[in-house]
Each structure stands twice: as C-alpha cells, then as structure tokens.
Structure 1
Amino acid sequence: MAALIRPARAEDLAGMLELYRHLNQDDPPPAPTAAEAAWHALLHSGLTTVFVAEMEARPVASCTLVIVPNLTRGGRSYGVIENVVTHAAHRQRGLGHAVLQAALDAAWAAGCYKVMLASGSKQEATLRFYEAAGFTRGGKTFFEARRR
C-alpha cells in the first residue's frame, strides 16, 4: 500500500501525538489544551508546514518545515526541518525520505537558499539516512541553548 504525502490537517492531531511517541518515548505528553494550541499554531502560522505520510487514514511518518523570512542572501528565506519521525512499524519503506523530499520541494519552491536540520543521533545509520535524503553532514558548527 502506498502512502499519501500531504500537509497535516487539524484532524491529524491525535495521530500525530501517537506518532511522536516514536520520536522521543521518554517525553511526557502535552496537556490536551496545550497540544491543541500548539497544533493550531503550527497549522496556521504561515511559516510552518507539517508534512505527513498517511497510511490507513493515519500519519505514519512526518517532519516539520519552518520557512524563515530573511534579510540576508538577497532576502531569500531559509528552511529548518525538525521532528523527523517514522512509526517503528513503518520504517525502512522510504516514508521518512518521502516527507523530507516534500519539505525540501516546498522550501525550494518558496525560494529558500538552504534548508537545515539538526540530529542528536550519533548512530551512523541515522546520519546516513539524512545524507541519502540530500543533506550534508558537518556543514557548520551547531550550538544549542536550553532553558535551565
């Protein structure tokens, strides 16, 4: 069965919350009102698109693309991809690459000059997955600040 690759819709929230359990199993689930508010903001900000691979009427892979307006690079935007995940039962089928390709296509169509993503994984297979999807490892040094 082939997956349908599409932007997420409001009615996908429950399926997305289930799918995200395959991304960070130790994360506590958000409170329902917080989840609804965040989902509404993601879908309606005008800057973000959540791409999903849908099978059997539920999301089984996803990534989020943020297109950031920019005043450098001739005013060309840039993209950031986050929350790349495929349901454990649907891995190794090309679904992760499919949602990443949809995000890249959208970024290029929007005139982005680059698209970035960061991975906390040290697993070589994960890093090769991103390279096979068109990303270059080690292009820049990555820094992170977290609230204490």
Structure 2
Amino acid sequence: MAAVIRPARAEDLPAMLELYLHLSPDNAAPRPAIAEAAWHALLHSGLTTVFVAEEHGQPLASCTLVVVPNLTRGGRSYAVIENVVTHAAHRRRGLGQAVLQAALDAAWAADCYKVMLASGSKQEATLRFYEAAGFTRGTKTFFEARRR
C-alpha cells in the first residue's frame, strides 16, 4: 500500500506523540492537557500545517510547516519547516521526502518567497536527505536562543 500524504487531524494526536519519540527519544512527552492544547493550536491557527505520511491509518512520517505573513519582499510570506521525523522502522522508503514535498508545495502555493529548515544533525546522510528534498546548505549564518 502506498502512503497517503495528508494534513494531520485531531484524532492523530496519540500516534503523533509516539512518532515524535523517533525524533527526540530523550524528550519527555508533554502532559495530556498541554499536548491537546498545542495540537489544537497547530491544527487551527491558520498558519501551521502538520503533514503526515500515513499507511494503514498510522502516521509514519511528518513535518510541520509554518507560513509567516511578512511585510518585506512585496508582502510575500516565508515559511519554516520543523519537526521532520520518520518512524525508525520505516526510514529510507521516501516517506520523509514525501511530507517535505507536500510542505514545499503548500509553501509555494502560498506564494512564500523562501522556506527555511534547520537541522541539528551533523550526520552527512541526514544532510544529504535534506538536499535530496530540494534544500541547499544555506549561505546565511543560523543563530538561535534557547530558554534555559
């Protein structure tokens, strides 16, 4: 069966929490009330779309697209992709590429002038995965601030 690529739905929350363990195994899952509130905001903000690759009713890969309204670049939005994950038992099947392509297609349909994606991985295979999905190693320097 070929995977179905679709936006996430409310009932996907339990499966998504399981899938995210393959992204950050050491990261504790949020308390149920926090998870439900965040999931509702992700699905209903109008700015975010969580794309999933599903087989047999089970999300096996996902990424989140955020389209940010903008007053520069002629008012064209830009987008950010975050939380790219594929279930460890289903990697190297094109599922991650498929959700990234869906996110890129949505960003281009929203007339975004660019899409940004940051990876904490230093593994060359992971970096090549993103390049194969259409991303380039950027010319800009990336900075971040994390709350302690």
Structure 1 residue 56: deviation in Å?
Answer: 1.3
Match of 2:119 in 1: 119
Q: Tell me what 1:17 maps to.
A: 17
What is the distance in 1 between the residues matched to 2:137 and 2:78?
A: 18
- Kindly report the root-mean-square deviation, in angstroms, between the aligned alpha carbons of the 2 structures: 0.5
What is the CA-CA distance between 1:139 and the residue it aligns to? 2.5
Structure 2: runs of 5+ lacking an equivalent: none
Q: Say whether residues 1:106 and 2:145 are aligned partners.
A: no
Residue in structure 1 matched with residue 139 of structure 2 by the alignment? 139
Counterpart of 1:42 in structure 2 is 42
Tell me, in whole angstroms, the C-alpha distance in 2 between the residues paired with 1:53 and 1:113: 25
- Report the AA paired with residue 55 of structure 1: E
Partner in structure 2 of residue 62 of structure 1:
62
Cα distance in structure 2, aligned partners of 1:28 and 1:97: 26
- Deviations 1:72-119 (CA, angstroms, capped at 9, x unpaired): 000000000000000001100000000000000000000000000000
Aligned to 1:87: 87
- Which residue number in structure 2 is paired with residue 53 of structure 1? 53
CA distance in 2, matches of 1:75, 1:23: 34
Q: Within 1, Cα distance between the matches of 2:55 and 2:70?
A: 36
One-letter code of the match for 1:102? Answer: A
Counterpart of 1:31 in structure 2 is 31
Percent sequence identity is: 84
Q: Give the match for residue 73 of structure 2.
A: 73
TM-score for both structures, normalised by structure 2? 0.99
- Cα distance in structure 2, aligned partners of 1:4 and 1:17: 19
* CA deviation after TM superposition for structure 1 residue 140, in Å: 1.1
Moved over 2 A (4+): none
> Could you give the per-residue CA deviations for residues 16-68 of structure 1, whole angstroms, max 9, x where no partner exists?
00000000000011000000000000000000000000011010000000000
SS at match of 1:79: strand
Aligned length: 148
